[in-house]
Structures are given as structure tokens and as C-alpha cells.
Structure 1
């Protein structure tokens, strides 16, 4: 029996998982039970930008500005702003009424501290920090940002949907972004129930009755965020078959990323819906550590390109349904205005491992150890890692393939040390497609060195092109610069692109009001 048949049989035969059933939460219609893509290991979205952490943080923290369903910036905690001094001074006023989960009002001082902390960690925030002359609270509801020169994208930066700027209390936001905040006194529509947290098993959220939503209709992350269930439980289940059985028996309400092997089984159940909610999906990649040999050598990074066929990675994640994935993926979201075919000719043929071997020898590879960190409990990353690991072995690299859980991998990624200091060489990753629409927010197409995100590429040519993009005056110029950036990226290799995908999410038919985008928990009802 093949793996697909085994999983389907197991899912049919398994009883509902006791880890969910045993909770016995009163008020089934007021409790939403959710199976996330992986366990929630880290709670601070500034300290760690993992998507599971982002999804959690969007429940408990609010933003100053937010994107609507058309990806337009809207005020969220902000009432409005005035731009003065030729674009160099922003005077921002907060809404009257919103509070933190301890009942204290959200003040301008909290907003200033939250922006300052985020600006230290985020690559776009670092641009704002470098341009800022002064950021100060003028009153409890008003703060000003005085810039050295105009930065029209300030609101867009503060509205980022990933690696976002959460509004925290000043006392927490004063902490270094390199130190994780573990106590959550949030600003969003749900509050964190720390007493019910069980690592590796469960995370619990309660509706925050004191939340003051905007009056507009909800649209993606903007508008009125109304919690319509009293309680949300995240359940980390041991495997896909267990999750499928729990879905079929109504023990859980929503499975974020159902295994493609089990989609036919789930489709046969009339009480379960399968829908693609996030139309921008995800970009997939092999991320290389530029600080550690051998991938500190750009020629060695480039040498791997003939070994990449994106369809292999996409099939490993989602099977043969091409409607769910794209294997003509560069460094921008396929189909978006700035996407192009530039450089794609360097990869995507049948993998030529002999050519990769010759390339590695010519580039000076000397058998250095390659530590590949792999989270077995994340289907997407594990599936890609198996394909990439096989390539590394076939081309003769000295592979140390280290499998653990997502929490262990996530904690390790921030280690910039050598391999003898617990560092790493390579990992597989996905990023939200919405951040790959342009160079301003595509944080993995950056080269600021140690100031950047995990992998820390130092790529001055790409950085110079990005600076030009930020100052471009029309779309034609932006398009030309984006093509130049992609061409340069296939020389510098900030990462190896392995495709783009969308994925159905599975939810019970009595769950209504689910918004478009990644998992968003406000506006959801259980009928």
C-alpha cells in the first residue's frame, strides 16, 4: 500500500483524537477548534516572523494601519494622520476608546515604543529608522514622526501583514527585539489564555470583551474586527491522519493545511468544505546561510541552480494538481505586476546533477559540512527538505540532515554562529505571497547582511536596486528595476526559489464568515 492509501485508510479508521475530545469545553457553538500548520512555539512576532507566530499575533495584537481585501492601506488603531513639512512630518492621531487587555488605554507612547522596537528588527522598519529624525508622543493620542526626507510608504510599512508592527504596551516594547516577549497583554480582539497553554498540544484564546472595533465592514485585516466566538482553541495533532479523523467526526472545526493525500477523503464528507482562502498563497524557497561556508561563496550558491526543478518541490507538497501551484516562480509573486521570466532559464529543466557537481568543483567546494535543519512536523517544509536533501546528496555535498520539530528549528534559525556553535547551513521556507508583490516588502530579497532576516545575505547590488525602486516615479521604471533585481538575484542567490502555491483549507460547514487571506479569526461564527 502506498503512502496515500495508508493515510486515507488510517484517517477513516481512527477514532477522534482524545487530545481534542478530552477538553470538554462547554458551549460547543461558542468555541472554535483549529488545527494550525505547526505547533505555536514562539509568541513574539517581532522576535520571530514565522507564519504560525504571525497568525497567533494577529489575534492578540492590533495594528496602527492594516491592509484591506484589495491590499489598500486603511487606518486601524489610527483615527487619521496629517502629513506636513513637504512630506517629512507625519502627525498621527489614535482612535478614542481602544484599550489593552488589562483595561489600560492604548496611548501614543505605546505606539511610539512599538514602532521603535519593530524598526530595529524588520528590514523595511530599518529603512524608516535610518530616515527618522525624531519620533515622539505629543499627547496620549497624538504622536509625530519627523523624517530626514519624505517617505511616502510609511503607512504601507506599518500595515505590513507579515513581519508586522504589533501594538504593545510601552513596558514590553521597550525590550530588545532580540529578547522574546512571553507575557502577552495584547491590543487585539482575542486575549491570550496563558494558564491553558500546553506546549506541543494546545493554545487557547478568549474573546476580549473590551475590544473596540472600527465601524467599517471587515475586509482582510482592516475594518471592524469582531470576535463572534467566545473561545478559540489551537490543537497541535500528531499527524495528518489524526487531523483528518478529527475533522470528519466534528472534533475540530478548521484544519489550516490539510494533507494533499487526504483531500479526496475530505471532499467526500458533505459536512466539510475545502476552499482556497489565501489567493496570493506562498512563495517557497531553499534558504542558504550566507555567513557560513560553503554558502558564503556566491559561486557555490549559483552552482546548485541546475539541480532545481520547481515542479518536484510543488508535487511533494501538493501532489499533481497544477491548479494549486506554479513552477515558473522567480523572486516576485507569479502573475503579479512585477513578476517576470528573467533568469528562470537557469533552472527548471530536468535536474542535471553532473553539471552541479562540475559547478561545485569549479566554484571551489572542498567538502565543507552542510547542516540542513528540518522540521518534521511542518508538512510543507519537511516535503521540500526531502527533495532538497536528496539533491545535496546526489551532487556530493557533505550533508548533515538534522530532523527535529518546528519549535527547535525556529529557535535555532536566529543563531548566526558557526556550525560548531549550533549554527546552520540551509533550511526550506515559505513566505506569504502578499509580501512578494514588490521589493519594498519582499524581505527575503534583501541584502543588508546581519541586519537582515535569517540567512543574512550581504548583497550591495540588490540593495542599491531596491533603493532605486523606492524612489522610482512611475510603474515602468519600477518594472524595469524589478527585472534588474531578479536578474541580479539569480547571480547573488539570496535563496533558491522552488515554486509558488495556494492551498485549500478545510473547515466544517457550520463555520461561516471566514475572511479571505491567511487564517483570520475575527468575523467567524459557528452556526
Structure 2
């Protein structure tokens, strides 16, 4: 352990031992609710920006037609109802009455159609839904119809997709005129909070106020569904890079909620009666991986990608995180998150016993000639940085010529979505983390869902996978879809589209005086209020 690390841990331990700050009850109610996110917020558009931090921002200010509840079931949210024709090809959707955007304009069916089309040009699941759609049209101000041209068994799941990228609804004047890779010029949503742009410090602080125009549903809040009642007047997202300082800040009550509890401090936090750690697992767990740019040599060669797959020792990668053993799943080999519906062992035999020696041999067979590999390392991410450091060490041992470029996650995320050559700011490898929500469905899984779409920078295309995906899309029976999902996993692992780094829980933590916190798997800040002490 370096001197700087020891000093930070000593400081954090000292702060953690201090008594929590006493705050008068009236002052506590007036204080903003402060959330520390894993990384700073730079991109405000949920379709253009593929990051969790942008997703978290977007749930504050936008709303969705359909939402997933705490049991993983899909419920109407902005919608009053939907109807499905007897042949399963026509879906009629009706909005709730009285919905408004933050600028005072009513939410209409036209806004929904434009938003779905924009999302559907970007998201993996959305693209497949749009490809199966014969017509998407408005009927009146509150009603629109989605007519399929061929069977597609996941219409509701697609429109209720809970994580990146989410089909949030925005005004048609923005959604219909802004390309999906270009951020919209205004943040105008119909969600429970308002974004205060004049107080935004990119990467440092984001401020929200309660949206007086928002009309929550009457049902109790449940997961992402039900009544999104904003019970605090002001919310702040703050960036705090040092994990020890994050831990100390929440313990002292200087912040209220950490998106992820710093792993080194979890045991201490579990013993602190002033803190609550999230218990959500499965969909809520973290899965590390490495994004490979298939457009850039040498990773257009499957043998080189398999070499990367061979350096992914899950035991070592998860150990680098320092995760307590009861929160780690190094044995999980499923490309879908373990503990979710499509979890599978199909094709995992080739990833069970990883080996640097085997990686070297695969590079030799591939004819690797020491080509430069640009590795983007997000040093500010407490979750990604340790995984990336282990990957770097093992890649070097395998003989890969690495050009390591270290920066903050937001900067790397901007480069990640580009396709520039290496000598013009391009990239080769980027360590990433996803949640079980993102990996649970084959059509949204980064190792399957973007196959041959030419829609994302990793750019893989396996012709053998295409007809299997089409069978999965068309299959109405969930049990049969699970079997097909296993076939897709086997094909993806053969091509080493998205090598995994292991699954573990990195729970959120919040102050015990917060009431109504929804333990879902990522921050949900409606329904929360402070109890007076």
C-alpha cells in the first residue's frame, strides 16, 4: 500500500470514528438531499450518453411509459393502459390525463412516438423493436399505436427497459430533430424533479428542485413504478473522488446517500447504526467486463479477443476490488447476470480456467506483431480502476503492447462512443462495469444485443448469431426464450465479444434517518423524506 493510500485511509478512519454531526430538526428538513455518485456527471442526454451517471440524472427529470417494479414486473407509468390485439401484432397505448413537461407543454402521443423512434435508433433492444415495427402512429393527443410487421415478444419489456439506454419521453420538438448520438439542446422532461442548469458544475455538482408540474401515480412507489412523489424540495448530486472521504462524509451526515459504499469500508458501515446498506442482489449486482473495439486491429481478429478473454481471472479481478467474500461471485460465468432470469452455463467451459500462458499462445496463433493497443483507464471510478489495473498487469504479462491513457470516466466515455483511428484519439480496450439490469436480457446485453447493428463502437458482427437473435425476438414463450438465450451466450463467448471480470455486490448506503428509500439497485430519490432527530 502506498503512502498516499495509507494517509487517506488513516484520515477516513479518523473521520469514521468521529461522532455524527448533530443537526436541528427544522434545519434537517430544509437541507438538500445529497447523493454522491460513482463518477461526475458530464452528459445530460440519456440517449446520447451510455453511462449510469446519465441514467441516474435522467430518472430525476424524465419519465417512462412503462416501469419495472420491485419484483421485476412491468407496470404502466406515464401510460394509463395498453391493449394488445388477439394476434399479438398491434399494441394500443393510452397516456394518463394531465401529464405536463417542465416547460408547461402537455405530454402528447406525438412526443411519445418521436421519443421512441429516437431511442430506437440508438439502443440495442430499441433498434430491434423498431426493425420489427410496421407502423408507429398517433391516434389522438393521448393515444398511439405500435403495429408490428412480424412477431416480437418483448414489446413491453423494451418500452419498460430500466437501465442504459432507457426510453425516456421528451418533447417531440427535441426528439424528432436531434440525432440520437447528439445531446439535446435542452433538458425538458416530465419527471418528478427539475434540473437547475444555472447551478450545474459539470463533473462536480448537479442540482435539482421538486417539479411542481409533476403528477405522480396514485399507487405506492414500488421499484421504478408507482407514485414518484418528491418529498424533498432540493436534491444535489455531488462528486467526491476519494472513497475514504465519501465514507466519512456519509457517516458524519454531510451527505445522505452513496451510490456505492466504498468497498474497504463496508464492514465498518455494517456496524454503524446510523447507516443502512442496500440488500438488493441479482439485477442490482455489478458485473465487470472489458469493452473491445472490434473496428480496430488487432481486435478484428477473434484469436486476439480470445487472448483478452484468457487474461480475465475472476478471482484476481474481484479480489482487487476488496469485496467481502459474502458479496462476491467469482464462480459466476454467465454472460447474463447470475440471479436473473436468463442465467446460463451454456458455452462457459472455455472461460472456466483462464491462463496467461494460453493468452500468449493465442496471440502467437493470431500473428500478433506487437501492434499498439490503446487502453483507456478510468482512474476516478472506485469500481472500475481496480479492475483495470489487474487487466493491465495481466495483458502486459501476456505480451500486449499497451498504450495506457488514464483520465476520468466522463472523458473516456466521450471517446468510447467515437470511432476514430488510434492516432486520432481512438481506443482499443476500456474496462467497464454494468449492473444485472443491463446484462439480464440478451437484446440489451453488450455481448449480444448489438450484433451486426453497426450502432455502437465495439462493432462486433457474427452472422451465425443473427438468426438465433431473430428466433429469440419472435418467441412468445418465456421458457423457450431462456433456451435460445443459452445458444446466444455460447456464440458470444466463442467470439469473445465482451469478456467478463466477475460479479459482485457493491451496495448503496444511506443515512438511517432517511425514510422511504427504495432499495432497487440504483439510486431512486423520490419517496424519500427525513425523519426529525
Task: State the Cα distance separating 1:147 from its structure 2 match.
Answer: 2.2
Measured at CA, do residues 82 and 238 of structure 1 come closer, stay the same or move farther in structure 2, by a change above 3 Å? closer
Give yes or no for the alignment of 1:314 onto 2:325: no
- Residue 377 of structure 2 corresponds to residue 393 of structure 1: no
Q: What are the residue-to-residue correspondences of 1:276-295 with 2, within 5 Å? A: 276-277=279-280, 279-280=282-283, 281-295=285-299
Q: Structure 1 residue 193: deviation in Å?
A: 0.7
**1:175-233 deviation digits (Å, cap 9, x = unpaired):** 11111124211110011011110122210111112211111111111111101111111
Residue matched to 1:338:
342
The 3 A distance-change label for structure 1 pair 448 and 291 is: same
8 Å CA contact retained: 1:285, 1:495: yes
Superposed CA offset, 1:441-492 (max 9, x none): 3243234335333412112222321211222354553333222222212211
Name the SS for the 1:427 alignment partner: strand
1:412 to 395, 411, 415: 415
Distance 1:192 1:128, change over 3 A: same
CA shift digits 1:364-399 (9 cap, x unpaired): 111111101111111111111101111111111110
**Which whole-Å CA distance do the structure 1 matches of 2:428 and 2:438 have between them?**
24
> Structure 1's 181 and 328: CA in aligned 2 closer, same or farther, altered over 3 A?
same
Q: Does 1:94 align with 2:98?
A: no
Residue aligned with 2:140, SS: coil
Deviates more, 1:52-61 or 1:85-94: 85-94
* Separation in 1, partners of 2:147, 2:479: 30
The match for 1:44 is 45
CA distance in 2, matches of 1:299, 1:284: 21
Distance 1:77 1:475, change over 3 A: closer
Would the aligned equivalents of 1:190 and 1:206 in 2 still touch at CA under 8 Å?
A: yes
1:56 aligned partner: 57
TM-superposition CA deviations, 1:140-166 (whole Å, max 9, x none): 111122221243421211000011101
Query: 2:499 is paired with a residue of what secondary structure?
Result: strand
Match of 2:29 in 1: 29
Classify 1:282/1:448 alpha carbon distance in 2 versus 1 (closer, same or farther; 3 Å).
same
Please name the residue that 1:249 is paired with: 252
Q: Distance in 2 between matches of 1:7 and 1:107?
A: 52
- Post-superposition Cα deviations, 1:239-270, rounded to whole Å, max 9, x if no partner, equal 11221221222111111112211223334433
Deviates more, 1:459-468 or 1:64-73: 459-468
Backbone CA RMSD of aligned residues: 2.2
Local SS of the residue matching 1:86: coil
| 8 Å Cα contact 2:9/2:244 also seen in 1 | yes
Map 1:336-485 → 2, pairs under 5 A:
336-349=340-353, 352-449=355-452, 451-485=454-488
- For each residue in 1:299-321, what CA deviation from the matched residue of structure 2 results, as whole angstroms up to 9, or x when unmatched? 11112333221111112224342
Indicate if the aligned counterparts of 1:444 and 1:453 stay in contact, CA closer than 8 A.
no
- String of CA shifts for 1:402-460, please: whole Å, max 9, x gaps: 10011111111111121122111011112220232332332432343353334121122
Give unmatched runs, 5+ long, in structure 1: none
Range moving further from structure 2, 172-181 or 126-135: 126-135
What CA distance in whole angstroms lies between the structure 2 residues aligned with 1:482 and 1:14? 48
Q: Provide the residue aligned with 2:227 in structure 1.
A: 224
The alignment status of 1:519 with 2:519, answered yes or no, reads no
**Counterpart position of 2:127:** 126
Residue aligning to 1:198: 201
CA distance in 2, matches of 1:96, 1:48: 30
Q: Is the contact between residue 324 and residue 503 of structure 1 (CA under 8 Å) also seen in structure 2? A: no
* Contact 2:289/2:432, CA 8 A, preserved across alignment: yes
Unaligned runs of 5+ in 2: none
Q: TM-score by structure 1 length?
A: 0.93
1:167 paired residue among 153, 164, 169: 169
| Counterpart-to-counterpart distance in 1, 2:375 and 2:410 | 15
Mapped contact 1:318–1:324 kept (Cα < 8 A): no
| Contact 2:295–2:457 under 8 Å retained in 1 | no
Answer yes or no: is the 8 Å Cα contact 1:287–1:428 preserved in 2. Answer: yes
Contact 1:7–1:261 (CA under 8 A) maintained in structure 2: no
- Summarize deviations over 1:90-134 as a string: whole Å, max 9, x none: 221111011111121111111111111101101111122222232
Q: Is the 8 A contact 1:59 1:188 kept in 2?
A: yes
**Which shifted more, 71-80 or 135-144?**
135-144
Structure-2 separation of matches of 1:516 and 1:269: 18
Classify 1:12/1:307 alpha carbon distance in 2 versus 1 (closer, same or farther; 3 Å).
closer
Distance 1:95 1:271, change over 3 A: same
